[in-house]
A and B are shown apart, each in its own frame.
Chain A
Amino acid sequence: MTSTTLTRESGTSYTLSGNALAWWFSDVWQMTLRNVRHVLRSPELVMFSLVQPVMFILLFTYVFGGAIDVGGERYAQFLLPGILVQMALYGSAAGTTIGVAAEMHEGLMDRFRSMPMSRTAVLIGRTLSEIFRNVGVAGVTVGVGLLVGFRFRNGLVPALAGLLLLLLFGYAVSWFATYLGLLVRNAEAAQAVGGVWIFPFTLISSAFVPTGTMPGWLEAYAAHSPMTAAVNALRALFTGGPATSYVLQTVAWSVGLIAVFAPLAVRKYGSR
């Protein structure tokens, strides 16, 4: 049987057997399933998650599409990657922040802490469940996108790579959202905090209009926003064009967010 030896800062070492690792994976999986079930058993959450992207696509395509010039391209082709990233972040950010804060406030997290299970599993399960939610939302978004004229013009492999990148970016942001949820007192405060930053963060980007049409001072921010990097990466992977730089930027932002906020969140969870 495999075993891993871990050494603490104090110098004492202990062995984590393969069996313990299996338990850890089991804990993570159970917590992930629990969060997925929680979403599926809340019809209003499911409805909201699915109706929102449909509404945004139809609204922007038909209301703004004819008035916005995106260089001869069909607006639906330009818009869909932006909506995909926006919807992934709306769920991962606002949903996670509110969910974590509500469970802390209700005392559910205290019950989890009293159980013989890994503490990290609670938070990892929460963030992993967002991947499942984002898969569903992305499916609906792409489906509606195809109906209004969007097409994957760059082949199947880049399209799948783009969707995987989307899930990675959404997962990374959900760690930041988890940390925010642990910082605030209750669900109401979480709703305010979660909504305040996500709205401008997603809109001040290349999601809906080319950044070149914005005033200089706004373009300076929008062009270097992680949201813009993710949207441009998806756009290049779906439609064609130079993608490497944007993909690397998005991966770097994602890894950076996880590296910073996952330990912070776990530490905060342990100290609350």
Chain B
Amino acid sequence: MSTATTTDSKDLAPVSAESLAALLVSGERPPRPSALSASLTFGWRAVLKIKHVPEQLFDVTAFPIMMVLMYTYLFGGALAGSPKEYIQFLLPGILVMSVVMITMYTGVSVNTDIEKGVFDRFRSLPIWRPSTMVGYLLGDALRYTIASLVMLTVGMIIGYRPDGGVGGVLAGVALLVAFSFAFSWVWTMFGLLLRSEKSVMGVSMMVLFPLTFLSNIFVDPKTMPGWLQAFVNNSPITHLSSAVRELMAGDWPADEIAWSLGWAGLFVLVFGPITMRLYNRK
């Protein structure tokens, strides 16, 4: 048996249509967030993802540590006479390599969010369109900084001594993070372009592996064959590696810094618009 509860209408205060409308529809819309505010919010989202998926930090901690130790002790004796001497040359280069390598995870994250359908929800928000992408890159900039700090700490423990002091190291890391931020736009494009995260990782490894090895990260290009030197000496990674190495050594390599920033600007100018066009068409 069911009992129906009835309320006598005379018990309720009369409600006018106007007062109800005023209650339901606020007179003023909340202000639209600025481009900076939206980007920082999405950047914070990327940071929170690290908190909830701490395995992400493996790539910015364990992997760089393994690289530093392995190359220093395995190849140090053969390439420079001793690991102690080699670490002075290697550390800035391996720092560049590790940070540039982890830029590909930006593309992987973008691709994963597209697969989950999160991007469709973001697109329905009244925000500056590129803020989602910029947010990813800002979050990743934090990861690049963590990776740099981890590697510098390990390097210092095993004998690396930057003659440039704190200022030189900070300048080198700042240049590296700025370049990586720009370079990440390449992978956001691939993240939007390719179907699966495995494809994104596959393509990025095919580009990054030769690009980082065919540089002056591990050895002086003078020891390479002439035809290879021609490529290596003009590679963006070589310019970046030289700039970071010299900044940390206390020099101010204006031409190498200019080349690195020039390449960074080119990556943003070319891949930024392509990424946004793909994002808007998704």
Listed in ascending order, the chain A residues whose CB lies under 8 Å from chain B are 44, 55, 59, 62-64, 66-69, 199-200, 203-204, 208-210, 212-215, 218
Contact = CB atoms under 8 A, between A and B. Distances in A.
Contact of B219 (A44, A64, A200, A218): A64
Given A59-B210, A62-B225, A68 B79 contact: yes
B74 A203 contact: yes
Given A55-B209, A55-B210, A68-B78, A214 B225 contact: no
The B contact surface, by secondary structure, is helix
Interface string B210-222: 1001100011100
28 contacts: A55-B210, A59-B210, A59-B213, A59-B214, A62-B224, A62-B225, A63-B213, A63-B214, A63-B218, A63-B219, A64-B75, A66-B219, A66-B225, A67-B223, A68-B78, A68-B79, A199-B66, A200-B70, A204-B70, A204-B74, A209-B77, A209-B78, A213-B78, A214-B73, A214-B74, A215-B73, A215-B83, A218-B74
A66 B232 CA distance: 14
A204 B75 CA distance: 10
A90 to B, nearest CB: 14
A55 B212 CA distance: 13
Contacts of B209: 55
Contacts of A215: 73, 77, 83
Interface in B55-113: 66, 70, 73-75, 77-79, 83
Contact of B220 (A59, A67, A214): A67
A121 B83 CA distance: 49
A69 B78 contact: yes
B215 to A, nearest CB: 9
Contacts, number: 57
B266 interface: no
Contact of A210 (B66, B78, B210): B78
Contact of B75 (A44, A59, A208): A208
The listed residue with most B CB atoms (<10 A of its CB), out of A67, A203, A208, A218, is: A67
Contacts of A208: 74-75
A66 B78 CA distance: 11
Given A63-B218, A67-B79, A218 B73 contact: yes
Interface of B: 66, 70, 73-75, 77-79, 83, 202, 209-210, 213-214, 218-220, 223-225, 228
Nearest to B199: A44
A194 B90 CA distance: 28
A203 B73 CA distance: 11
A210 B76 CA distance: 12
B219 A67 contact: yes
A79 B219 CA distance: 17
A144 B218 CA distance: 23
A215 B86 CA distance: 13
Contacts of B75: 64, 68, 208-209
A203 B191 CA distance: 32
A26 B75 CA distance: 48
The listed residue with most B CB atoms (<10 A of its CB), out of A55, A63, A66, A209, is: A63
Nearest to B227: A62
A218 B225 CA distance: 31
Contacts of A218: 73-74
User: What are the 9 A-B residue pairs with the smallest beta carbon separation, nearest first?
Assistant: A213-B77, A66-B223, A209-B78, A213-B78, A67-B223, A67-B219, A68-B78, A67-B79, A218-B73
Nearest to B222: A66
A191 to B, nearest CB: 11
Given A63-B218, A200-B66, 20 more contacts: A55-B209, A55-B210, A59-B214, A62-B225, A62-B228, A63-B213, A63-B214, A64-B219, A66-B225, A67-B78, A67-B219, A67-B220, A68-B78, A68-B79, A199-B66, A203-B74, A204-B70, A212-B77, A215-B77, A218-B74
Nearest to A66: B223
A67 B224 CA distance: 8
Nearest to A222: B74
A204 B79 CA distance: 16
